[in-house]
Amino acid sequence: MKKIIIPLVLIIILICSCTKKCNFSSPPKYNIPPDNVFVFQCENDEFYTVHFQDDAAYLYHKYEIYKLPRAISASGARYSDGVNEFWNKGDMAMITIGDKSYQNCQLVNPNERQLKLPADYFWALSNDPLWSLTIFDSEIVVFFDKKNKAYRFPSATLVDSGEGEKVYTAESEDHTVKVVISKKDCYDKKSDQHFPYHVTLFLDGKEYNGCGTSPK
Protein backbone atom coordinates (compact mmCIF):
# COMPACT_ATOMS: atom_id res chain seq x y z
CA MET A 1 0.00 0.00 0.00
CA LYS A 2 1.28 3.42 -0.80
CA LYS A 3 1.77 6.14 1.73
CA ILE A 4 -1.01 8.50 2.55
CA ILE A 5 0.19 12.09 2.84
CA ILE A 6 -1.87 14.57 4.82
CA PRO A 7 -1.15 17.92 3.19
CA LEU A 8 0.47 20.39 5.52
CA VAL A 9 -0.57 19.10 8.81
CA LEU A 10 -1.23 16.63 11.41
CA ILE A 11 -1.37 13.12 12.44
CA ILE A 12 1.98 12.10 13.57
CA ILE A 13 1.29 10.47 14.53
CA LEU A 14 0.86 9.49 15.67
CA ILE A 15 -3.33 3.36 14.70
CA CYS A 16 -2.67 -0.84 17.58
CA SER A 17 -4.20 -3.65 18.80
CA CYS A 18 -2.59 -6.88 17.76
CA THR A 19 -4.90 -9.82 18.02
CA LYS A 20 -1.60 -11.57 18.55
CA LYS A 21 1.17 -9.97 20.52
CA CYS A 22 3.33 -7.82 18.28
CA ASN A 23 6.65 -9.36 17.47
CA PHE A 24 8.83 -7.12 19.58
CA SER A 25 11.64 -9.19 21.08
CA SER A 26 10.96 -7.94 24.60
CA PRO A 27 8.30 -5.23 24.44
CA PRO A 28 8.62 -2.84 27.40
CA LYS A 29 5.51 -2.68 29.55
CA TYR A 30 4.90 1.03 29.90
CA ASN A 31 1.56 2.23 31.15
CA ILE A 32 1.51 5.14 28.72
CA PRO A 33 1.25 4.57 25.85
CA PRO A 34 -0.46 1.15 26.04
CA ASP A 35 1.47 -1.97 25.12
CA ASN A 36 1.01 -1.84 21.37
CA VAL A 37 1.65 1.85 20.76
CA PHE A 38 5.30 2.84 20.62
CA VAL A 39 7.17 6.08 20.05
CA PHE A 40 10.66 5.99 18.54
CA GLN A 41 13.16 8.83 18.50
CA CYS A 42 15.42 8.83 15.45
CA GLU A 43 18.31 11.00 14.28
CA ASN A 44 17.77 14.77 14.18
CA ASP A 45 15.03 14.46 16.82
CA GLU A 46 12.59 12.90 14.37
CA PHE A 47 9.76 11.09 16.17
CA TYR A 48 7.68 8.24 14.78
CA THR A 49 4.64 6.72 16.46
CA VAL A 50 4.01 3.06 15.60
CA HIS A 51 0.72 1.25 16.10
CA PHE A 52 0.14 -2.41 15.26
CA GLN A 53 -3.14 -3.87 14.03
CA ASP A 54 -3.95 -7.13 12.24
CA ASP A 55 -0.50 -7.91 10.81
CA ALA A 56 0.15 -4.33 9.77
CA ALA A 57 2.08 -1.45 11.28
CA TYR A 58 0.67 2.06 11.11
CA LEU A 59 3.49 4.56 11.11
CA TYR A 60 2.80 8.21 11.94
CA HIS A 61 5.19 11.06 11.32
CA LYS A 62 4.03 14.65 11.61
CA TYR A 63 1.41 14.99 8.87
CA GLU A 64 1.82 11.62 7.21
CA ILE A 65 0.41 8.13 7.75
CA TYR A 66 1.84 4.91 6.35
CA LYS A 67 0.14 1.52 6.52
CA LEU A 68 2.86 -1.13 6.24
CA PRO A 69 1.92 -4.82 5.82
CA ARG A 70 3.87 -7.49 7.67
CA ALA A 71 6.89 -8.66 5.66
CA ILE A 72 9.34 -11.56 5.86
CA SER A 73 12.28 -10.97 8.17
CA ALA A 74 15.21 -13.16 9.20
CA SER A 75 15.08 -11.59 12.67
CA GLY A 76 13.03 -8.98 14.47
CA ALA A 77 9.75 -7.62 13.10
CA ARG A 78 9.60 -6.07 9.64
CA TYR A 79 6.78 -4.18 7.93
CA SER A 80 7.00 -2.82 4.40
CA ASP A 81 4.89 -1.60 1.48
CA GLY A 82 7.78 -2.03 -0.93
CA VAL A 83 8.93 1.58 -0.59
CA ASN A 84 8.56 2.48 3.07
CA GLU A 85 9.72 0.18 5.84
CA PHE A 86 9.77 -0.25 9.61
CA TRP A 87 12.07 -2.88 11.14
CA ASN A 88 12.32 -3.45 14.87
CA LYS A 89 14.24 -5.63 17.27
CA GLY A 90 14.13 -4.97 21.00
CA ASP A 91 14.31 -1.26 21.78
CA MET A 92 15.85 -0.31 18.43
CA ALA A 93 14.31 0.28 15.00
CA MET A 94 15.29 1.18 11.46
CA ILE A 95 12.83 3.29 9.49
CA THR A 96 12.84 4.12 5.80
CA ILE A 97 10.36 6.63 4.40
CA GLY A 98 10.88 7.45 0.75
CA ASP A 99 14.44 8.64 0.34
CA LYS A 100 14.95 9.13 4.09
CA SER A 101 16.49 6.36 6.14
CA TYR A 102 17.03 6.23 9.91
CA GLN A 103 19.30 3.49 11.24
CA ASN A 104 19.31 4.14 14.98
CA CYS A 105 15.79 4.84 16.21
CA GLN A 106 15.45 4.34 19.96
CA LEU A 107 12.26 3.39 21.77
CA VAL A 108 11.27 6.28 24.01
CA ASN A 109 10.16 5.68 27.57
CA PRO A 110 7.38 8.24 28.07
CA ASN A 111 7.73 7.90 31.84
CA GLU A 112 11.14 9.54 31.53
CA ARG A 113 9.52 12.47 29.70
CA GLN A 114 12.03 12.45 26.88
CA LEU A 115 9.46 13.36 24.27
CA LYS A 116 9.61 16.75 22.62
CA LEU A 117 6.12 16.49 21.21
CA PRO A 118 3.67 19.43 21.39
CA ALA A 119 1.88 19.81 24.71
CA ASP A 120 -1.49 19.02 23.11
CA TYR A 121 -0.34 15.79 21.45
CA PHE A 122 -3.10 13.20 21.82
CA TRP A 123 -3.84 9.91 20.09
CA ALA A 124 -7.01 7.79 20.05
CA LEU A 125 -8.38 4.66 18.38
CA SER A 126 -11.39 2.45 18.01
CA ASN A 127 -11.83 -0.99 16.49
CA ASP A 128 -15.52 -0.79 15.58
CA PRO A 129 -15.08 0.55 12.95
CA LEU A 130 -11.29 0.87 12.85
CA TRP A 131 -10.40 4.55 13.11
CA SER A 132 -7.83 6.70 14.81
CA LEU A 133 -7.29 10.37 15.44
CA THR A 134 -4.40 12.56 16.43
CA ILE A 135 -4.29 16.05 17.86
CA PHE A 136 -1.06 17.90 17.18
CA ASP A 137 -0.33 21.64 17.36
CA SER A 138 -4.05 22.51 17.45
CA GLU A 139 -4.79 20.37 14.40
CA ILE A 140 -6.89 17.23 14.20
CA VAL A 141 -6.55 14.34 11.76
CA VAL A 142 -9.04 11.48 11.69
CA PHE A 143 -8.19 8.31 9.77
CA PHE A 144 -10.66 5.55 8.80
CA ASP A 145 -8.90 2.34 7.77
CA LYS A 146 -11.80 0.76 5.86
CA LYS A 147 -12.22 3.86 3.72
CA ASN A 148 -8.46 4.39 3.59
CA LYS A 149 -9.28 8.04 4.11
CA ALA A 150 -7.91 10.80 6.33
CA TYR A 151 -9.78 13.94 7.35
CA ARG A 152 -7.65 16.96 8.28
CA PHE A 153 -8.88 19.84 10.43
CA PRO A 154 -6.51 22.77 11.03
CA SER A 155 -6.94 25.36 13.76
CA ALA A 156 -9.05 23.38 16.21
CA THR A 157 -10.66 25.26 19.08
CA LEU A 158 -10.24 23.84 22.59
CA VAL A 159 -12.65 24.21 25.47
CA ASP A 160 -11.37 22.86 28.80
CA SER A 161 -14.13 22.22 31.31
CA GLY A 162 -11.66 21.99 34.18
CA GLU A 163 -13.40 18.81 35.28
CA GLY A 164 -11.26 16.30 33.44
CA GLU A 165 -12.92 16.90 30.08
CA LYS A 166 -11.63 18.65 26.96
CA VAL A 167 -13.65 19.44 23.86
CA TYR A 168 -12.06 20.20 20.49
CA THR A 169 -14.07 21.53 17.56
CA ALA A 170 -12.98 22.32 14.01
CA GLU A 171 -14.20 22.41 10.45
CA SER A 172 -12.83 22.13 6.94
CA GLU A 173 -14.44 23.09 3.66
CA ASP A 174 -16.46 19.88 3.55
CA HIS A 175 -16.50 18.40 7.05
CA THR A 176 -16.97 19.20 10.73
CA VAL A 177 -15.47 17.50 13.75
CA LYS A 178 -15.96 17.54 17.50
CA VAL A 179 -13.76 15.53 19.86
CA VAL A 180 -14.73 15.06 23.50
CA ILE A 181 -11.91 13.71 25.69
CA SER A 182 -12.89 12.48 29.14
CA LYS A 183 -10.38 11.50 31.82
CA LYS A 184 -11.66 8.03 32.75
CA ASP A 185 -10.65 4.44 32.19
CA CYS A 186 -11.49 3.15 28.73
CA TYR A 187 -11.26 -0.51 27.76
CA ASP A 188 -10.65 -1.56 24.16
CA LYS A 189 -11.95 -5.12 23.87
CA LYS A 190 -10.15 -6.18 20.70
CA SER A 191 -6.70 -5.10 21.84
CA ASP A 192 -7.46 -6.02 25.48
CA GLN A 193 -5.97 -2.72 26.64
CA HIS A 194 -6.97 -0.09 29.16
CA PHE A 195 -6.50 3.54 28.16
CA PRO A 196 -6.61 6.58 30.48
CA TYR A 197 -9.13 8.52 28.34
CA HIS A 198 -12.52 7.90 26.78
CA VAL A 199 -12.98 9.68 23.45
CA THR A 200 -16.21 10.57 21.67
CA LEU A 201 -15.75 11.60 18.06
CA PHE A 202 -18.43 13.43 16.10
CA LEU A 203 -17.56 13.51 12.40
CA ASP A 204 -20.15 15.35 10.30
CA GLY A 205 -22.58 14.76 13.15
CA LYS A 206 -22.09 10.99 13.28
CA GLU A 207 -20.91 9.66 16.65
CA TYR A 208 -18.01 7.24 17.20
CA ASN A 209 -16.54 6.10 20.51
CA GLY A 210 -12.99 5.07 21.29
CA CYS A 211 -10.10 5.24 23.71
CA GLY A 212 -7.12 7.56 23.86
CA THR A 213 -3.80 8.35 25.45
CA SER A 214 -1.08 10.96 25.65
CA PRO A 215 2.61 10.46 26.45
CA LYS A 216 2.63 13.58 28.61
| Number of folded domains that form the chain | 1
> Considering the domain boundaries, does residue 130 fall inside one?
no
Per-residue pLDDT at 119: 73
Per-residue pLDDT at 158: 92
Closest CA to 209 of 192, 193, 187, 191: 187
Band (pLDDT 50/70/90 cuts) for residue 55 is: confident
Per-residue pLDDT at 62: 66
Band (pLDDT 50/70/90 cuts) for residue 35 is: low
Per-residue pLDDT at 24: 29
Per-residue pLDDT at 122: 85
8 A C-beta contact, residue 104 and residue 10: no
- Residue span of the structural domain in which 51 resides: 4-112
What would the DSSP string read from start to end of 143-158?
EETTTTEEEEE-S-EE
8 A C-beta contact, residue 90 and residue 24: yes
> Considering the domain boundaries, does residue 168 fall inside one?
no
Q: How far apart are CA 128 and CA 93, in angstroms?
A: 30
> Considering the domain boundaries, does residue 92 fall inside one?
yes
CA dist 9 to 60, 166, 180, Å?
12, 21, 21
Give the highest mean pLDDT range of 20-29, 148-157, 175-184.
Answer: 175-184
> Considering the domain boundaries, does residue 94 fall inside one?
yes
> Considering the domain boundaries, does residue 148 fall inside one?
no
Task: Please check the confidence at residue 36 and state whether its pLDDT lies above 80.
Answer: no
Q: Residue 80 maps to which CATH number?
A: 2.40.128.200
